[in-house]
Amino acid sequence: MSAQIDATLRETFRALADVLIPAAEGMPAASEVGVHEAALDHILGLRPDLAERFFRGLRAAVGQTPEAVARKLNREDPEALSAIGLAAAASYYMQPRVRALIGYPGQENRPADPDETPEYIANGMLQQVIDRGPIYRPTPGR
């Protein structure tokens, strides 16, 4: 898969990714965290189904300004832009620096103590529900 990403296409992806994910609002641009580097090969290796749309979009973009191409793809080939955008965003949000900035530890291992009394019991929240009584209709004749 990575053999298809020659230097020209990789550079085209880098530029396009920075249009989609620019440096703004205190966040780094996509290329600053290396979405166009080894991470891209990794993602395309995991998701070979993206390749056709991904490369179709990039080949249409070579030699053009990335802003204009992004608009054109969004209008005329949204599937290609979606594949490019998914590769960029997936790589971006997998980076530890980006995750730290948005406060995301990943899908973490944080078991709870099953013997701890839940807050909603301790503070009486659930008791309000209980106090209102049953809300079901019984089986007729029961």
Partner 1 sequence: MSSTSRGDAADALIIGAGASGSVAAKHLAEAGFRIVCLEQGPRVDNSEFYGDKPEWELMAQKRWHPNPNVRDLESDYPCETSDSDVNPLMYNAVGGSTILYAAHWQRFMPSDFRVRSLDGVADDWPFTYEDLEPFYDQMDLEMGVSGLGGDPAYPPGKAPPLPPLPIGKIGMKAAEGMNRLGWHWWPGPNAIPSRPYGGRNQCVRRGTCLTGCPERAKASTDHTHWPAALQAGAKLITGARVREITVDEHGLASGAIYIDRNGRERRQFADVVIVCCNGIGTPRLLLLSRSRLFPDGLANSSGLVGRNLMMHPYAAVTGSFDEPLESWLGPAGQTIQSMQFYETDASRGFMRGAKWQVMPSGGPLGMRAAYGGKPLEEAWGANLHRTTRKVFGRSFEWGIIAEDLPEEANQIVLDPTLTDSDGIPAPKIIYRNSENTHRLIAFHLERAKEAMQAAGAVEMSVTPLMRDCGWHLMGTARMGKDPGTSVVDEWGQAHDVPNLYIYDGSVFVTSSGFNPTGTIAAIALRSVKHLIAHRANQKVAA
Of 84, 101, 77, 104, nearest in space to 25 by CA: 101
Q: How long, in residues, is the chain?
A: 142
Counting contacts by CB under 8 A, is residue 60 touching partner 1?
Answer: no
Q: Report residue 42: phi and psi, to 5°.
A: -60, -45
Of the candidates 4, 71, 97, 122, which one interacts with partner 1 according to CB under 8 A?
Answer: 71
Q: Around Cβ 21, how many Cβ atoms within 10 Å?
A: 23
> Is residue 97 a contact residue for partner 1 (CB under 8 A)?
no
Q: Which is nearer to partner 1, 4 or 78 (CB)?
A: 78
Closest CA to 73 of 4, 19, 2, 8: 19
Query: Which of 43, 58, 80, 83 lies at the binding interface for partner 1 (CB under 8 A)?
Result: 43
Q: What would the two tokens of residue 51 be? A: 């390749």
Chain residues binding partner 1 by CB under 8 A are 19-22, 24-27, 43, 46-47, 49, 70-71, 74, 78, 82, 85-86, 89-90, 93-94, 102-104, 106-112, 114-115, 118-120, 125-126, 128-130, 132-140, 142
